[in-house]
Structure 1
Amino acid sequence: MDWKPDLSSETPLYQQIKEFIIHKISLGEWAVGTKIPSQRALAEHFGVNRSTVVTAISDLIADGLLEGNTKGGTRVINNSWNLLTASPPPDWSSYVQAGAHYPNQPTIQHINRAEFQEGIIRLGTGELSPDLLPSEQMKEIFAESSTNSFLLGYEEPKGNLYLRKQLAAYLQGIGVNTSPSNILIVSGALQALQLISIGLLPRDSSILLEKPSYLYSVHVFQSNRIKLVGLPMDEDGVLANQIGRYKKGYNASLLYTIPTFHNPTGTLMPESRRQALMNACADEGLPIIEDDAYRELWFDEPPPLPLKARDPHALVLYLGTLSKTLSPGLRIGWVVAPEPVIDRLADIKMQNDYGSSSVSQWAAAEWLGRGLYQKHLVTIRAQLILRRDSTVQLLQTYFAGIASWSVPTGGFYIWVQLTVDVPMQILFERALKEGVLLNPGSIYNRHTGNYLRISYAYAKLHELEWGLKCVAILIRDLVDKKRLER
């Protein structure tokens, strides 16, 4: 909602709010069955006293447009169409609830909305700060497009051929030998997972993954009735010696893993564990989805080669993306897989969106083809090292005695474990009231509620300091309150 009441108007505030809600209902934007925001939320958004909102809502209930109760909130029960027709309009809320795709977890929905509120400090956001995105260079590339023009039409099913050739050359540099015909361009790695979930796996199958994992925070597999089975981790990543037991116990169809700068823990799987994992999966005939989104964000030395670089049996479906390194807005990722798999996924992608943006593919190809991408990575790594070091220092300053963490050697995240007993939902809500947005560990696995995913990639350094200091104060206040209650 971008509307605000006019405080200088002679029309009473409650009447302005009432008319705004009637307008939303009459346009069908708040259809019959819609649960409207709470009185408290409306009052905060409109910048008025709660009593003003209560008056407006009470009038609308009396008019027969809304119905409210203490448990279910306030819902739309009538509209202007309903008064003029013999039958009531559709109950869109029932359609929403009947949809096959699962909704996001409530906390994630809250995070997705709050990220775009003005003045919010985002301590967990998994993307580069706008200050680190190469906006000026991108403008220059498009300004020079007259010498190497791009198409505004559709691309072929697998994606722009020149981009796939550039990716094949780039991948060869990290040990992945492939050809353009074995690469599919997708709209970010998340779309690759979506395509795999509907194109390669039967319903009611199971997949193995690290516990915790980013994959728990999205429902691309669960919405297709695919069960996620968590494998235990240690400081070197997923425990390869457990794969056989879990594969048999759950009749798993494949393994999903982020071996390089894992999301959310930041763990880097060493060479020995990678070899053990590949051997275990080869013994079990278990395919692997390798999500390598953070590979290029290393600090001191390059990480071990991808699992796909040691894949003589074609076990690995390899996912990459430019979202974490160049631009999330380009929405460019890729899948490397055997050609029948690529053909299958490309066919489904054409049915879904008829191909990723041709303009974005052209821009990505220019970055790779001109050598600009590798130069850009050098700059990004240097900036992220400074941010990581500053964030570690801030944690040492403000979180000493209440948390523990490991220092990552790449990626975006520090996986912070609170060593004091704090109700995380209350901490999340209080931090948000102070203008600080957190990513609690529970969204990556329900058993990791005492963790926070802290990202040093997005917020400015002064925002990181203010935000971490604020959260530390809130944690200590909650601990003190709990102690007093005893």
Structure 2
Amino acid sequence: MWKPDRHSRQPLYEQIADHIEQRIAYGEFPPGSLLPSERKLAAELGVNRSTVIMAFDELRATGIVERRTGSGTRVSTTKWEIAPKHTPNWKRYAQGGQFLPNLPFMRKIREALTRDPSLIDFASGELAADLAPINEIAALMSEHRYTSYLGYDNPQGYIPLRQALVSYLAEHRNIRATEASILVTSGSQQSLYLITQCLLSPGDAVAIEDPSYCYSLPMFQSAGLRLFRLPVDPYGVHPEDVRALYKKHRIKMVFTNPNFHNPTGTVLAAERRKQLLEAASELALPIVEDDPFSLTAYEGTPPSPLKSMDEIGSVLYIGSFSKIAASGLRIGWMVAPREIAERLADARQQMDFGLSVIPQQVAAQFLSSSYFAPHLKRLRMQLLFKRDLLVEALNKELPDLIRFAVPSGGLHLWCKLVPEIHDGRLLEEGIRRGVVFVPGSVYGSDSGFVRFTFARARTEDIPAGVAKFAEALRAAIGG
């Protein structure tokens, strides 16, 4: 983000005026569009509001912008020799289309982190830099040449990566697959997007867990799907609820995250897994299994995926590098019947002609290398340490105001707040004090729940972040 140069001889207000004029000239702010408010722009640029007022006065003096009482400062419609009737209504376009924007809370969190990167981040669902295999990947990239071919690759994914995934899935997840049954994607969200857009139709009914990460993805509503809830208890979903929803609403697909569920951290009980697959078989109902967290199991053997028990091909299995290695590689995968993999590969080719081959080459080498197993071991130890640090801090700061079950894997801690708290006010108080988290209502829950992600925050910041959250919670209660 651009900032004025405080060491320049040019006054700050002139720098700001020049910068805004440039953005207008480049078409970022078309004629007639509303500029950010003086207060918001001052906060973004780290200057006094009076400095922004002077910048706007400078632009008004040259006719570049005009101020209308009650409607803010807008770009002039006549200065650029463009008649207002010929100017597209970009606001209407931005608010149109079928693809919905992110939820307001998620946009607010993202804007807060962009505005102030020093915020302690309990919201972002990704690994911190100290948990990623940065040195290992750097070593692989120095050992191997990745630029032998830079054209479009196979739309279903780089073949050596799919071959490496066949071995990985067999060894680590007890899933039998072939390279023809694997589609490489940019991550779990692209896999879900392709499924909702290509395998379902507007008006179709689907079942998702409650609470569920799926609720935070407007792509389901954008696809025109009708969502029905499967309540999650400490042992996961009840398979009988699937039968009931099918009988009442003729659901066409079930979306589930059975291992270290996001956001609750629960693991679907073994008996319920068997019953869920039986229900799917009886109803000829596809199950989409999102399994990004299994290999983060802190102790013992990771829980088996549903796909490893799937004898008739009911399960579409989704995995990702993001939660076990590095989200920046943008590598995910789906195991599906061959005709489904080919159908979705064709759709994805229409979007981007396939993923960049270089990250796929890196991922293939990493999966097959001697670095992978030690990295997983180190990752589990560090996540366990961060989890325990978070739990200790919450018990210390909020012994009577918060309740939670300690997860045995994953990146998240799902907390129930004892008092009734308005989500929006609590988040505002948290941001004001320097900490962000995700309110539970983002995942379909009622107010009074919070998801803490402990993988993103630095270890040394976790106690301080919990202390800031405790201050925010008490302020919200007092308010």
Q: Scaled by the length of structure 2, what TM-score is found? A: 0.93
The reply on whether 1:317 has 2:322 as its aligned counterpart is no
Q: Which residue of 1 aligns with 2:164?
A: 166
Hey, what's the Cα distance between the residues in 2 that align with 1:327 and 1:207?
A: 31
Q: Give the conservation status (yes or no) of the 8 Å contact 2:77–2:83.
A: no
Q: CA RMSD in A?
A: 2.2
1:179-218 → structure 2 map (5 Å cutoff): 179-218=178-217
Hey, what's the Cα distance between the residues in 2 that align with 1:144 and 1:79?
A: 57
Q: Which residue of 2 aligns with 1:442?
A: 441
Offset of residue 239 of structure 1: 1.9
Hey, what's the Cα distance between the residues in 1 that align with 2:265 and 2:69?
A: 45
Hey, what's the Cα distance between the residues in 1 that align with 2:69 and 2:369?
A: 62
The reply on whether 1:3 has 2:36 as its aligned counterpart is no
Hey, what's the Cα distance between the residues in 1 that align with 2:451 and 2:36?
A: 28
The reply on whether 1:76 has 2:64 as its aligned counterpart is no
Amino acid at match of 2:28: E
Any idea what SS the aligned residue of 2:29 has? Answer: coil
The reply on whether 1:419 has 2:408 as its aligned counterpart is no
Q: Flag structure 2 segments of 5+ consecutive residues without an equivalent.
A: none
Hey, what's the Cα distance between the residues in 1 that align with 2:305 and 2:68?
A: 56
Any idea what SS the aligned residue of 1:221 has? Answer: helix
Hey, what's the Cα distance between the residues in 2 that align with 1:274 and 1:303?
A: 15
Pair 84,335 (structure 1): closer, same or farther in 2 beyond 3 Å: closer
Offset of residue 204 of structure 1: 1.6
Offset of residue 75 of structure 1: 5.7
Partner residue of 1:457 out of 455, 458, 461 = 455
1:116-131 → structure 2 map (5 Å cutoff): 116=114, 117-131=116-130
Offset of residue 357 of structure 1: 1.5
Partner residue of 1:109 out of 107, 110, 117 = 107
1:227-266 → structure 2 map (5 Å cutoff): 227-266=226-265
Q: Which residue of 1 aligns with 2:388?
A: 389
Q: Which residue of 2 aligns with 1:21?
A: 20
How many residues of Structure 1 are paired with residues of Structure 2 in the alignment?
476
Hey, what's the Cα distance between the residues in 1 that align with 2:84 and 2:463?
A: 60
Hey, what's the Cα distance between the residues in 2 that align with 1:125 and 1:329?
A: 13
Q: Which residue of 1 aligns with 2:43?
A: 44
Q: Which residue of 1 aligns with 2:464?
A: 466
Q: Which residue of 2 aligns with 1:65?
A: 65
Does 455-464 or 317-326 show the bigger shift? 455-464
Q: Give the conservation status (yes or no) of the 8 Å contact 2:162–2:184.
A: yes
Pair 332,10 (structure 1): closer, same or farther in 2 beyond 3 Å: closer
Q: Scaled by the length of structure 1, what TM-score is found? A: 0.92
List per-residue Cα deviations over 1:233-282 (Å, max 9, x = no partner).
11111122111111232221100000001111111112112112112222
Amino acid at match of 1:336: V
Any idea what SS the aligned residue of 2:86 has? Answer: coil
Pair 248,81 (structure 1): closer, same or farther in 2 beyond 3 Å: farther
The reply on whether 1:346 has 2:367 as its aligned counterpart is no
Offset of residue 472 of structure 1: 0.2
Any idea what SS the aligned residue of 2:463 has? Answer: helix
Q: Give the conservation status (yes or no) of the 8 Å contact 2:152–2:353.
A: yes
Does 24-33 or 136-145 show the bigger shift? 24-33
Q: Which residue of 2 aligns with 1:287?
A: 286
Fraction of identical pairs, as percent: 34
List per-residue Cα deviations over 1:331-355 (Å, max 9, x = no partner).
1111101111011011111111111
Offset of residue 203 of structure 1: 1.5
List per-residue Cα deviations over 1:407-428 (Å, max 9, x = no partner).
0000000001111122221221
Hey, what's the Cα distance between the residues in 1 that align with 2:22 and 2:4?
A: 14
Does 132-141 or 314-323 show the bigger shift? 132-141
Offset of residue 449 of structure 1: 2.1
